[in-house]
């Protein structure tokens, strides 16, 4: 099993762009491909640990969504939004030549997953939502608005790592090596020689206007595939009452709580890896 990098040509409202993604191919197949989609400011490399685990028996693909990582930054910034994100992931799924897939999405990636799974004839067989649900409070969006797209610049990798240790503390307990990898994959070099975060600051445009609660219950209620909801025990984005309601309606999700984490669990700890692996294999958690 090896990690390979690819670029897929996609079409947006204002022309073609390149969508970067990584792929792991197993030595032998043990199920449909797994598509892993990251959160708002992150990249597909967030799923390296999970990909190594699942990639023993599954193909695992993880895109850098447009404006992030190795994917193109879009020239028309208003194109950053869910219609474009959905078409990008659908195009990627189309390359897998598989009748069905399993899907793991963190935060924004989970919203994309809900939208895909709710569609008629959806190829999503099993869905994992990492710390996101159909109701997102205005307060959580306001918190995101305080740090996304601020255009921070850093002198070196150590400063980038320090930033992530502060801003991503709710991810839970990570090792020194995991924090360092987050910094390595989470920065880009500017023409000035300084380092910046590895995304286009203009992905923050939707957070610069009037904010309100996001209500996607009508979307969630259309989902029929088995669904696992992972919730950080201290999350302010996926409230406990929302998670409990997700277990009662729509696909009647299985809930898995990660104590000591907020938004969003990093999916690197053994209990989180085991829960996802078992759910994708059996449709339940151990």
Nearest to 136 by CA among 65, 220, 203: 220
| Contact by Cβ (8 Å): 275, 286 | yes
How far is residue 124 from each of residues 33, 109, 150, 220, 280, measured CA to CA in Å?
10, 14, 35, 14, 11
pLDDT digit string, tens, across residues 232-254: 999 999 999 999 999 999 999 99
Q: What is the pLDDT of residue 209?
A: 83
pLDDT in tens, 191-232: 999 999 999 999 999 888 889 999 999 999 999 999 999 999
pLDDT in tens, 165-194: 999 999 998 999 999 999 999 999 999 999
Q: Domains of the chain: which residue ranges?
A: 3-137+213-282
CB of 8 within 8 A of CB of 18?
A: yes
pTM of the model: 0.96
| Class (C level, CATH) for 3-137+213-282 | alpha beta
């Amino acid at each position: 099993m090896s990690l390979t990098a690819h670029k897929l040509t996609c079409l947006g409202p204002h022309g073609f762009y390149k969508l970067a993604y990584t792929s792991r191919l197993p030595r032998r197949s043990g199920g449909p491909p797994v598509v892993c989609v990251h959160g708002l400011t992150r990249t597909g490399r967030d799923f390296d640990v999970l990909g190594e685990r699942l990639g023993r028996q599954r193909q695992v693909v993880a895109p850098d969504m447009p404006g992030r990582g190795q994917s193109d930054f879009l020239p028309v910034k208003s194109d950053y939004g869910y219609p474009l994100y959905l078409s990008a992931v659908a195009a990627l799924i189309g390359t897998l030549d598989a009748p069905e897939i399993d899907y793991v999405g963190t935060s924004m990636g989970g919203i994309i997953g809900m939208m895909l799974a709710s569609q008629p004839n959806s190829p999503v067989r099993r869905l994992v939502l990492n710390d996101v649900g159909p109701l997102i409070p205005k307060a959580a969006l306001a918190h995101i608005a305080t740090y996304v797209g601020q255009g921070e610049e850093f002198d070196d990798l150590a400063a980038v790592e320090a930033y992530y240790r502060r801003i991503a503390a709710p991810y839970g307990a990570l090792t020194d090596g995991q924090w360092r990898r987050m910094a390595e994959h989470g920065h880009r070099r500017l023409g000035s020689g300084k380092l910046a975060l590895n995304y286009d600051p203009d992905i923050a445009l939707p957070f610069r206007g009037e904010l309100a609660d996001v209500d996607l219950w009508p979307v969630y209620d259309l989902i029929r595939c088995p669904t696992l909801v992972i919730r950080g025990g201290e999350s302010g984005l996926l409230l406990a009452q929302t998670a409990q309601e997700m277990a009662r309606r729509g696909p009647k999700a299985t809930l898995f709580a990660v104590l000591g984490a907020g938004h969003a669990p990093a999916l690197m700890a053994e209990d989180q890896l085991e829960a996802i692996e078992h759910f994708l294999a059996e449709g339940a958690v151990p």
